[in-house]
Amino acid sequence: MDRLTMTDELEAIDDATIIKRKIDHTLARFSAAHDELEAEEAKKRERRERLALRPAALLEQTRTALQRVVTTADPEPAEESAPQTRLQEKKERKTRQTAKAGRITAAVVAALVFLSIGSAWGAQTWFDAKFNTVASLDEDSADIQDAAGQTGDENFLMVGSDTRDGAAAEDGVGDADGTPGARSDTVMIAHVPADRQRVVMVSFPRDLEISRPECKRWDPATSSYSDETSPAQKIAKLNTAYAVGGPQCVTKVIQQITGMKMNHFVGIDFNGFKSMVDAVQGVTVYNEKPIDDTTLGMIIPQAGEVRISGDQALNYVRARHVKGDPTSDYGRIKRQQAFLGALLKTVMSKDVILDTGKLSGFIDAFAKATFGENLGIKQMMTLAKSMRGMGSDKVKFLTVPTTEEANKRGNEVLLQSKAKAVFDALINNTPLEEKAPAPPASDTASPPTSSAKSGGAKKSSSSG
């Protein structure tokens, strides 16, 4: 060996030797660091490859593992062993059974985890793609009071339409020939403030007297608007807004009356409503007395808690001429509110959430029967989760304040000061007054137009 090209820790140390040793030590450290980085990168590649497996491959792996566990027989011994005592045989058999049960459990858990993740993602994607989106909102309207202060609030404008388009004779709701067009039999706001500490449901009588703005004409058969417009009408019924201008016109009217920003629209028609109830195998409602309508007949023949089917539920929320109820629309509004709460409670119960058939059936029925804008699984879950688990003091059902007596035109007249107090409380997230002072004589004037509105105070700090 050439002594000039070698370094030795025992040889005399000179400048050249020191430099060589430093180079050797540096190269050794670089080599060790390189090996560590290479090992770490190999682990990362392995993790990426596992995560990059497609769902189908994961499902196939899970299925194969499950089949292997279930179908593979216990291995036979290679050669005859010495005779065993009964205790030894029992112990060995128990060991084999425990191991097999463990393998089955592991495979089933893996399958359930995969299927639950896949089903949740698939259901949301399927529903959001299938949902019938219709232009409905006007979030830049000048009628919205303190729009910045309402940031984070979720306001669902829910409209039940009496359109008969597509209804079959056995549906029992009439048809488009006998009852053409569409009107809003139910108009309701579900208000969930930004702090998610309460839910307020506000209903509007279908015969509420309004000042209807100019709206694009609406064709319920095609769920579309035309370039033609319907002129403004100073005195009209609320349900005509949907009849002439569809969802957009209803949104305009409600934002004029309330000053609230509607950021979700949910339309539900009669044709398909029944299937939503039947999908969860009925809904339980409570009535103090039987529900007998002079037009629809006997709907619920007994008092107390009753589980009603889709057919009964449809008539339950439609009935306007119930014997012993002189309030007509107001009695129906109370039944609609009670039924909505019962339906949400049923859908969010373990009996439905943990039952794949019921849950998928309800989602399918809901997608077929509804339409609107800014609505999907996430948005509906916001509403449902907000209502679930809240005490009765946190979920408030009310009807917009009116005179509760029809005027000579057959319309319900809004009490302006009381209504303003309600909607200001919702906008500002302040407590609702249980009893408002009696309105002045001028309080029952016609509803305000878009130019007649007032601003509200800023939200309290509790609104988030």
- pTM here? 0.63
| Mean pLDDT, range 239-267, rounded to an integer | 94
Q: Which two tokens stand for residue 224?
A: 């579309």
Helix (H) or strand (E) holding 102, with range, is helix 86-130
Whether 115 shows a pLDDT value over 70: the answer reads no
Residue 448: which pLDDT band, with cuts at 50, 70 and 90?
Answer: very low
Compute how many other C-beta atoms are within 10 angstroms of the C-beta atom of residue 446. Answer: 14
Residue 132: which pLDDT band, with cuts at 50, 70 and 90?
Answer: confident
154-168+179-428 is classed in which CATH architecture? 3-Layer(aba) Sandwich (3.40)
Mean model confidence pLDDT for the chain: 75
Instruction: Please tell me the least confidently modeled range out of 144-148, 370-374, 406-410, 433-437.
Output: 433-437
| Mean pLDDT, range 391-401, rounded to an integer | 81
Contact between 260 and 155 under an 8 Å Cβ cutoff? The reply is yes
Best CA proximity match to 427, nearest among 145, 188, 198, 203: 145
Contact between 156 and 261 under an 8 Å Cβ cutoff? The reply is no
**Residue reference for tokens 């929320």:** 317
Helix (H) or strand (E) holding 350, with range, is helix 350-353
Please state the φ and ψ torsions of residue 105, each to the nearest 5 degrees.
-60, -45
Best CA proximity match to 332, nearest among 318, 314, 312: 318
Q: In the 8-state DSSP scheme, what is residue 131?
A: S
Domain boundaries, the chain: 90-129, 154-168+179-428
Contact between 130 and 367 under an 8 Å Cβ cutoff? The reply is yes
Residue 388: which pLDDT band, with cuts at 50, 70 and 90?
Answer: low
